[in-house]
Amino acid sequence: MTQEFNPYAPPRAALEKETNNACWREDKLLVMQVGSTLPPRCVKCNQPALTPIKTRKIYWHHPGWYVLFFLSIPIYIIVAIVVRKKADIAPALCDAHRNRRRLFLAIGWGGFLLGLGLVFVGISLKSSGWGIIGGISMLLFIIVGMIGSRIVFPTRITKEQVRLKGCGKAFLDSLPQISF
Ligand SMILES: [Zn+2]
């Protein structure tokens, strides 16, 4: 099934049936078969999703590779690009959660630009204090923006399955549970 917007898409019940058994929850994780689609409901609160639902690329590599990051960042980046696994997913959001995501994106970008401005103030005033405050602000706002705006993130990607964290309880509760 295509994940692009389709005005002639089948009704929700048909979509739900089609996605049946293709994704399920394991405790706080959402597990989906590669190539399957998620239910067309907000992954945070389980309300009906806004359409079109955007398809997003996600990447994952084994956390052990992070050791390289501390040895050499350029080598880590090259290795990460080679070993990373990728998947296409289309996690849906409702109006409220899309707005929340946009707010965090605006906070992240706004704070980043403010920090950049402070770095330039520091340079023009030859003040290392403003430069450091600007640099730290840029980093903090990038982190706040990234974490606040992310929808879901992978904890593992294999050839067969994608495991995702970050779904809300209401959405997870609506999925079949598999316990170990
Ligand atoms: Zn929602």
Gap from CA of 50 to ligand 1 centroid (Å): 9
- Is residue 33 predicted with pLDDT exceeding 70? yes
Between CA 92 and CA 47 the distance in angstroms is 10
Please tell me the predicted confidence (pLDDT) of residue 17.
Answer: 45
Gap from CA of 152 to ligand 1 centroid (Å): 13
DSSP string, 123-169: HHHT-HHHHHHHHHHHHHHHHHHHHHH---EEEEE-SSEEEEE---H
Please tell me the predicted confidence (pLDDT) of residue 177.
Answer: 82
Counting residues of the chain whose pLDDT is more than 70, the rounded percentage is: 87
Digit-coded pLDDT (tens) for 120-179: 998 888 888 888 999 999 999 999 999 999 999 999 999 889 999 999 999 999 988 876
Between CA 142 and CA 59 the distance in angstroms is 19
What is the sign of the dihedral through the CA atoms of 101, 102, 103 and 109?
positive
Gap from CA of 60 to ligand 1 centroid (Å): 25
Q: Tell me what the pLDDT averaged over the chain comes to.
A: 87
- Is residue 86 predicted with pLDDT exceeding 90? yes
Gap from CA of 102 to ligand 1 centroid (Å): 13
Please tell me the predicted confidence (pLDDT) of residue 103.
Answer: 96
What separation in angstroms does the CA of 34 have from each of 23, 119, 156?
Answer: 10, 44, 12
Gap from CA of 75 to ligand 1 centroid (Å): 39
Domain ranges of the chain: 1-93+151-180, 102-150
The stretches of 22-84 forming alpha helices (DSSP H) are 66-71, 73-83
